[in-house]
Structure formats: C-alpha cells, structure tokens
C-alpha cells in the first residue's frame, strides 16, 4: 500500500476519524453525524471530502450497491507515522529523534504513557518493535 504521503485537512481528518470508529459508512450517515441539523449543502460537503480522500487513496468507495459505502484504507497509526515523518523531513532533516524529544519535553505524559514508552523502547532494544 505504498503511496506518496499527502497531507489531509482537518475536515478530511474528521471524516477519517468517523470511518475509523465505524468501519464502513454512507455519505448520509457521515453527514448526519458531522452535521446533526445539516442540509443538502452539508451532504455535498461530506461528499466532496470523501472524493478528495478517495483521490488521495485514504478511503475506498464500494460502488456495488446504492448508496455507496466508504471505508478507510489507512489506519490511525499509519497516518500518525506518515505525518510525523513528513514533519521530521521538513523540520529535522528527516530525523525523528529531535521531533520526538521535543514532543516528550513539551507534553506532560501520564505514568501509564511513560511505562508504555519504556516497554516499547525495551522491546526495540531486544529487536522487536511490534509491542505497543
């Protein structure tokens, strides 16, 4: 599933987040959630957001039935990794270390988060990055 990383807008991200929560969804149901008192304009907005996400290969449309159903092609962790790497490329010559160090220093972590990071680093030292 290699793609050229393309940034997504906040509005596109809100649609993706709903798809992550729900799996497959129609434009109408996404619109009803994003705009509870929405109009046809809101439906068209969500439709356009999904078309843009589809063109960027972040979502897939199932055209086999009507209404069409959309689902995410990219997971939350994958998107986080891509966006962090894009930021590191722009700000830190591609190195994640300064970016992650800055994040940890500027954002207080809970005891649970610190423990999770320690476990991940220990696993990394042992050659396995799969533990989360």
Q: Are residues 107 and 83 in the same domain?
A: yes
Which residues, listed in sequence order, are joined to residue 72 by a DSSP beta bridge? 59
pLDDT at 68 over 90: yes
Same domain, 16 and 61: yes
Q: Considering the domain boundaries, does residue 92 fall inside one?
A: yes
Domains in the chain: how many in total?
2
How far apart (Å, rounded) are the C-alpha atoms in residues 79 and 5? 9
Domain containing 49 equals 10-72
Instruction: Answer whether 9's CB lies under 8 Å from 55's CB.
Output: no
51 is a domain residue:
yes
Residue 22's contacts (CB-CB under 8 Å, 6 or more residues apart) are 29
Q: Which pLDDT belongs to residue 3?
A: 46
Whether 89 and 37 map to the same domain: the answer is no
For residues 86-94, average pLDDT: 90
Each residue of 102-132: b (16+ CB within 10 Å) or e? eeeeeeeeeeeeeeeeeeeeeeeeeeeeeee
pLDDT of residue 2: 40
What average pLDDT does range 18-31 have in this prediction? 97
Q: Which residue has the higher pLDDT, 132 or 59?
A: 59
| Whether residue 82 sits in one domain with residue 63 | no
């Amino acid at each position: 599933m290699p793609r050229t990383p393309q940034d997504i807008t906040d509005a596109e991200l809100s649609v993706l987040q709903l798809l992550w929560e729900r799996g497959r969804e129609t434009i109408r149901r996404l619109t009803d959630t994003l705009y509870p008192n929405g109009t046809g304009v809101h439906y068209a907005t969500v439709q356009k957001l999904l078309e843009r996400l589809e063109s960027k290969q972040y979502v897939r449309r199932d055209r086999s039935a009507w209404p069409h159903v959309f689902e995410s092609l990219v997971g939350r962790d994958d998107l986080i990794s891509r966006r962090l790497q894009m930021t590191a490329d722009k700000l830190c010559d591609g190195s994640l270390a300064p970016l992650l160090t800055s994040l940890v220093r500027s954002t207080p972590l809970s005891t649970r988060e610190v423990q999770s990071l320690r476990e991940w680093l220990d696993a990394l030292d042992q050659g396995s990055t799969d533990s989360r």
